[in-house]
């Protein structure tokens, strides 16, 4: 996974990542709550 970070202004941070996964799966992981819960945050933490 490649990561790039830049600050286009003093109030913005842009993080760009490249994943070795199909585009549709990455999008689903960010937009479907059931998938997001599986990878975002530590075990035992609530995601709201």
- Mean pLDDT score of the chain, rounded to an integer? 86
Instruction: Average the pLDDT over 37-41 and give the result.
Output: 79
What is the reported pLDDT for 1?
A: 66
CA distances for 11 relative to 4, 16, 38, 45, 46, angstroms: 17, 17, 30, 29, 28
Whole-prediction pTM: 0.55
Nearest Cα to Cα of residue 4 among 13, 20, 12, 15? 15
Q: What tokens were used for 28? A: 């689903």
Cβ neighbours for 3, distance < 8 A, ≥ 6 positions apart: 15, 16, 17
Q: In this predicted model, what pLDDT tens digit does every residue of 21-32 receive, in sequence order?
A: 999 999 999 899
């Amino acid at each position: 996974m490649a990561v790039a970070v830049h600050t286009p202004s003093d109030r913005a941070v842009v993080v760009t990542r490249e994943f070795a996964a199909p585009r549709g799966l990455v999008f689903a992981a960010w937009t479907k709550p059931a998938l997001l819960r599986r990878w975002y945050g530590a075990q035992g933490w609530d995601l709201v």
